[in-house]
A and B are shown apart, each in its own frame.
Chain A
Amino acid sequence: MSTHLAFLLIGLGPGAVYALLGIGLVVEYQASGVVNFAQGAMAMVVAYEFVELRTDGAIVFPVVGLPDRWHLTTGSPLGSAPAVAVSLAYAAVLGLLVYLLVQRPLRHRPPTARSVATVGVTLLCEGLVLLHFGSTSRSTGNLLPTSRLRIGASVVPGDRLYLAGIVTVVAAGLWALFRFTRFGIATRAVADSEKGVALTGYSPDLLAGASWVLGTVLAGAAGILIAPLRPLDPGTYTLLVIPALMCALAGRFRSIVWTLVAGLGLGAISAEVTHLQVVHQWVPQLAVADALPLLVIAALLAARGRGLPARGEAAPIRLPRPSRPRAVGASAAAGGLVGVIGLVVLHGGYRAALIQSLVSAIIAMSLIILVGFCGQISLAQMTLAGIAGFAYSQLTASAGLPFPVAAVGALVLTVPFGIVLGLPALRLRGIEFGIVTIAAAVAAEELLFRWPTLVGSLGSASVPQASVFGHPVGRASLAFGIAVLGLAVTVGVVVARVRQTRWGRAMLAVRSQERAAASLGVSVARTKLGAFALSSAIAGIGGVALGYEIGQLSSDSFRVLVSLGLLALVYAGGVTMVSGAIAMGVLLAPGALVPTIIQRHVDITAYQLLLLGAGLIGAMFANDTGIASGFVSALDRLGLRRPPMRTRPVPMADIHTVPDRALEIESLTVRFGSVAAVNAVSLRVPPGRIVGLIGPNGAGKTSLIDAATGFVAATEGRVRFGGEDVSALPPHQRALRGLTRTFQFDELFDDLTVWENALVAADGAASRDPEGLAAWALDVAGVEARDVFAEDLPPASRKALSLARALCTMPSVLVLDEPSSGLDRAGSIQLGRQLKDLVRRAGIGLLVVDHDLGLVLTCCDEVVVLDAGRVIAHGSPDEVRADPSVVAAYLGGALSV
């Protein structure tokens, strides 16, 4: 027992450092909404500076053009305490510079773009360290007392315990700072409402800058504290960001305490697993010490997540608006022709570089589907490519399968991994899910890529050269190039076509508003997992091509940081369009054509990382929608590109009536903890009737309709629809049966056009003419614009589109949540007429929740009044108007309309 305790205590040291880095991430995120992937790299820069001070007392200016070093001493080492102080000041300046030069200019860009910019900062830090310090690892003596604590037969180095103690004290201080000081409270408030904080007299800009300074100082302190425990080198220090991200995620990027607990736990478990590996043969000898704790955190987070985001939960991750492919066939033909000419004209290394560009573009296209269309941030895409590459190697080299069979086999093996990777996305979303994929990638690195059955027993897997009709296909040959080009063009066409299909629209809807998508009959789970399956298949194709091209595969090509770099580069190229993947492949990818051409003429070896980092940040500055987007815009301006296709006039479908089904809510209770938001409520919405649901704020109206439509689980009671008990069905299944809803805040798919918004809903309806149905619904709701993006609509039109979109599902019962909000009196009267007409013409039943009593009492056939979760009145508008309990409890006085 004492031995186990000893290892747990040893692990507290590194765990404390993970926690400190994680807390820094939390601080930065709270004030700016940015996940700083450069946290490890910035810690590294500060640690190098500390070691340099301890070695020869010099401050290094990692900026080209400034004097290289400024000596504080005459070449003698600086003492530990002043070196720490100077280094932390250095960290503060570094944090301020990163904020002022990178984050502040990008503050109006989406957080994703700003996070991508931090990948650029990582590359800059690595490049500057290489330039000024070289790649030889450095070390420093112990900072903390090195007394040894003997526990049983084991020795625990005392400095690990001191380290854990120091970090715990720092975390407690920070917790108090953010809990009790005006600065801390304002900083936390920025995460919720930047405008609100500005109104209270604080500058969100200043708070964000201060937070970046504080976050970087914490990173620097972590870098200094861990320097005596591990080598200081540019290759592995940046990896410290991975456990730090997991810790911050465990604290939901808000809680300092949970981040600390996660860090200490991570370190302790990791140390104990290392111990168990050595003393017990049954513990896998794979490097589970790193992967297992990350997987545990990921699993806990997934268990804590929700199938659909709750009402008011964080907004969806903002990504560039998806492009609408035009002339896919012609573009593919033109691209293919240019590719063939390139492959024929270029020789040797240049042709190989072009092939490399095409392979990179294929892998990048897997991210177009997953991130660009479906909004699922994956940092494990190269892992999937690696699985396919290794599988292909084994199937050809070991199993002796011929090329096409082995390639298909590799894809068949890869896709299930892709789907498994996507499972956490059913409960987590946005950057949370992205960070969980890091855990998956690390696990794959440590478990799969060290598994001899997959990667071979020799540490690298060979991919034999294929033959076609007895002719060997060289790895940089024209034949292989043409084959890869064919694959790239095919994948590109598939990706572009998917964008135009109902599945593509469903993906974009899920990306934009999961709740709204589900309410319209879109299966969020199936859409996401389908995207993961297709994406992993595409990544697998790229992995097989990469494997063939390289010939000798090593897991180093598929590490998690490679995946992170890939995502950043694809984002810079244009993550929502096929041309973005191609731009990334040709311009930015390692070994790509343009970098190769430059490298052949100018020796940029020493500056490669610097240039790439600066380029990545520059791309975010210039255009956060990607290089390809800028290129396409330029073509548009020059009139060299066909204008966007206008939505053709579609004859309205002949809508008669909807199926005759009633919504019956029976003794429904919804509890949140000990609070009963809805208490034994029963009501019925028959077809062809309008039922109003009113009540003061907090009465339980929205909770009731959330439960009725499947967005909240009922604690007790049942929901029947058309006589069927639908209580256990998810929202999209209820919608497919004809029970649909709108939302108080519309929850439109802002990145889709009006027409596409309607089509997403019509796609799922039991109609053979979805376009006609969409045209009918838009007409009924009075929406005239078709090609306008929903985001650009005025409020009244947004409400109308929300209604039209719901009508596209051909609902038997439609639940309208605050349909008149934002409308003036005339608009409200017009809406009432519309609703009555709708019920009369289509036979739809309506449940209307609204604060506009005029609307409810004039257009509804019956009205239900809720107060404190209970029904206090139910009857005709006149009966409700006259009910004294309503007047007393709800209206507080005379009821007048």
Chain B
Amino acid sequence: MTIIRTSWIAALAVAAPMVAVAACSSSHPAGTSNRALGPPILLGMAVQENSPAGSMAEMRIAAQAAVDYVNNELGGIHGRPLELATCATMATAESNIACAHQLVDRRPIAILGGGDFLGAAALSVYQQAGLPIIGGAAFSEPELSYPNAVRFQGFSVAALPSAAAYIVDNLHAHRVAIVYTDSPVARADVPRFVRHVLVGKGLANSDVSVASGTLGSADWASVMTAAAATHPDVMFALTQGNTCIPILQARAQLAPTTKLVALDNCLDPRLLHQEGTTADGVVAMGLFVSPTSTSDPDVKTFLSKFAQYGGSQAPINALSQEGFSEVMNLWDVLHQAPASALTTTGILAPFKDGRAHHNFMGHDYTCDGHQVPKFPAVCDAHARVFTVHGSAINDDPSWVNGSGLIA
């Protein structure tokens, strides 16, 4: 199989629902009073915050901003406002379970997907309560294959194989060095989603080398030097957020001419603007249209409403895009669905109708359980390509999808 690049036909295929959503959105311009006043629709959301392992608070802040936007300007869903019951997790199994129970005790009709590196620990609680999960950042296989969920983005099953395909098809690499932050999840993902795709694209096994460090590695120079020693055309860095910095720094120092492909967490402005960090020339794979593409109507709405309802402190990055986007997708589908869908057992049906739906700031999604084999929760596996020039991020308007080649 080959990468499915967005073509005119594909563009036409997705144009209709996008136009419809845009029309809906534009029917309630910002500031217009269309406040929802009915009984609230309660959704639970658990997000990793205040943890030494990192914070995803912006996802909650953005989701709340989107909820406020929906309630104040879009009339809620069938006149009923959305209400978020949130809980902060700490990247531990115990905190995820505790939060899941806390949310279940509030009796929401569904869980709005949040994000936590150990979020999979909460699945058993939601499963026991029969609660569906809508959207959210999924970091592990159980979250991506949880049957009672819809994931609007494919995360690793989207970004990794798409990046691998792009490296061969567009960057024409013959030798690739994969550099990754070692973790159980990464160890599972690298062979299935990257090496397998690279080999499927015609590279020999010996042309793909792998070097890894850990989150606690004191110095990534040895890892990057080892990767550079295999003389790759392209280095592909699969990093957890914090390790982007040393990889970018080591690459600038040790292999400045080697092309580096990374994930969009390396483009977080909070990282790029720090002293000693340069991402010039980096190609990154993301799941959303770049926030720098301000001509995109969804991005425009996001930037405007996030600034209005989210406050000035929250960063604009992939996580805040995820939080805002999932609420908008939820509103988009449910406000058109019959009111009877607003129950725990009925809420997923409108999403899983097998039709393509507009994905706010993302590629259109179809929740038919077959977008990516073995991952029924994933509704879309496309990824976006960004290129950094100097400190500017260029957003290639096309989407790539390499998930057909995963093992």
Contact = CB atoms under 8 A, between A and B. Distances in A.
Interface of A: 3, 6-7, 10-11, 13-14, 17-18, 51, 54-55, 77, 126, 130, 134-142, 146, 148, 153-155, 157, 160, 226, 228-231, 233-236, 238-240, 242-243, 267, 270-271, 274-275, 277-279, 285, 287, 289-290, 348-349, 352-353, 356, 446, 449-450, 452, 455, 457-460, 462, 465, 474-476, 546, 549-557, 589-591, 596, 599-600, 605-606, 608-609
Given A6-B225, A279-B229, A235 B218 contact: no
Interface centre among A13, A231, A449, A455 (most CB of B within 10 A): A231
B93 A126 contact: no
The 3 closest A-B pairs by CB, nearest first: A349-B101, A551-B124, A591-B94
A287 B217 CA distance: 10
Contacts of A136: 54-55, 268, 270-271
Contacts of B94: 356, 557, 589-591
Contact of A235 (B51, B95, B244): B51
Contacts of B121: 550-552, 554, 557
Given A235-B53, A239-B216, A552-B142, A274 B222 contact: yes
Given A449-B184, A450-B182, 20 more contacts: A7-B226, A18-B218, A77-B275, A130-B50, A134-B55, A141-B275, A230-B219, A235-B51, A242-B216, A349-B105, A352-B125, A353-B101, A455-B184, A459-B185, A460-B141, A550-B93, A552-B140, A557-B121, A605-B88, A609-B50
Nearest to B206: A281
Contacts of B253: 146, 148, 157
B166 interface: no
Contacts of B91: 556
Contacts of A556: 91-93, 117-118
A235 B213 CA distance: 15
Given A135-B50, A476-B128, A605-B49, A591 B97 contact: yes
Given A14-B219, A140-B275, A605-B50, A460 B184 contact: yes
B97 A278 contact: no
A887 to B, nearest CB: 67
Given A148-B253, A352-B97, A450 B184 contact: yes
A552 B245 contact: no
B212 A554 contact: no
A234 B128 CA distance: 34
Interface in B85-108: 88, 90-95, 97-98, 101-102, 104-105
A790 B56 CA distance: 56
Contacts of B102: 349, 596, 599-600
A287 B221 contact: no
14 contacts: A11-B219, A54-B275, A130-B52, A135-B52, A226-B218, A234-B52, A240-B216, A271-B219, A271-B222, A279-B226, A279-B229, A287-B214, A352-B125, A552-B120
Interface in B263-279: 268, 270-271, 274-277
B219 A160 contact: yes
B25 interface: no
Nearest to B218: A14
B209 A278 contact: yes
Q: A13, A54, A126, A289: which has the most chain B beta carbons within 10 Å?
A: A289
A228 B276 contact: yes
Contact of B98 (A153, A274, A356): A356
Contacts of A356: 94, 97-98
Main secondary structure of the interface of B (DSSP, over half): helix
Nearest to A463: B124
Contacts of A139: 245-246, 249, 271, 274-277
Kindly name the residue among B90, B187, B254 whose own CB sees the greatest number of chain A CB atoms within 10 A: B187
B225 A348 contact: no
B42 interface: no
- Count chain B CB atoms within 10 A of each CB in A160, A287, A589 and give the residue with the most: A287
Contacts of A608: 50, 90
Contact of B245 (A153, A231, A238, A279): A231
B93 A278 contact: no
A154 B228 CA distance: 9
Contacts of A3: 229
Contact of B211 (A277, A449, A462): A277
Contacts of A449: 184
A557 B118 contact: yes
Interface string B210-242: 111111111111110111111000000000011
A137 B266 CA distance: 12
Contacts of A352: 97-98, 101, 125
B246 A229 contact: yes
A231 B276 CA distance: 11
Contacts of A599: 98, 102
Given A155-B254, A279-B226, A450-B184, A550 B97 contact: yes
B212 to A, nearest CB: 6
Contact of A140 (B101, B209, B212, B276): B276
A477 B225 CA distance: 53
Main secondary structure of the interface of A (DSSP, over half): helix
A278 B188 contact: no
Nearest to A240: B218
B81 to A, nearest CB: 22
Given A552-B142, A554-B120, A278 B230 contact: yes
A716 B154 CA distance: 74
B164 interface: no
A285 to B, nearest CB: 7
A16 B141 CA distance: 39
A606 B50 contact: yes
Given A356-B94, A552-B123, A230 B50 contact: no
Contact of A231 (B101, B117, B243, B275): B243
A352 B125 CA distance: 10
Given A139-B245, A459-B184, A460-B185, A554 B118 contact: yes
Contacts of A13: 219, 221
B52 A267 contact: no
B294 interface: no
Contacts of A546: 93
B87 to A, nearest CB: 9
Given A11-B222, A18-B218, A557 B93 contact: yes
A807 to B, nearest CB: 52
**Which residue, of B53, B94, B120, has the highest number of chain A Cβ atoms within 10 A?**
B94
A460 B222 contact: no
A138 B54 CA distance: 12
A10 B224 CA distance: 11
Contacts of B244: 231
Nearest to A551: B124
Contact of B229 (A278, A455, A458, A609): A278
A6 B224 CA distance: 13
B183 interface: yes
A94 B271 CA distance: 28
Contacts of A555: 184
A550 to B, nearest CB: 5
A285 B54 contact: no
Contacts of A591: 92, 94-95, 97-98
A137 B245 contact: yes
Contacts of A229: 218-221, 246
Contact of A462 (B142, B221, B230): B142
Given A278-B211, A475-B124, A591-B97, A230 B218 contact: yes
A132 B275 CA distance: 19
Contacts of B254: 148, 155, 157
Given A13-B219, A235-B52, A138 B142 contact: no
Contacts of A270: 222
Q: Indicate the member of A148, A242, A278 with the most B CB atoms within 10 Å.
A: A278
Contacts of A275: 222, 225-226, 229
A290 B183 CA distance: 13
Nearest to A600: B102
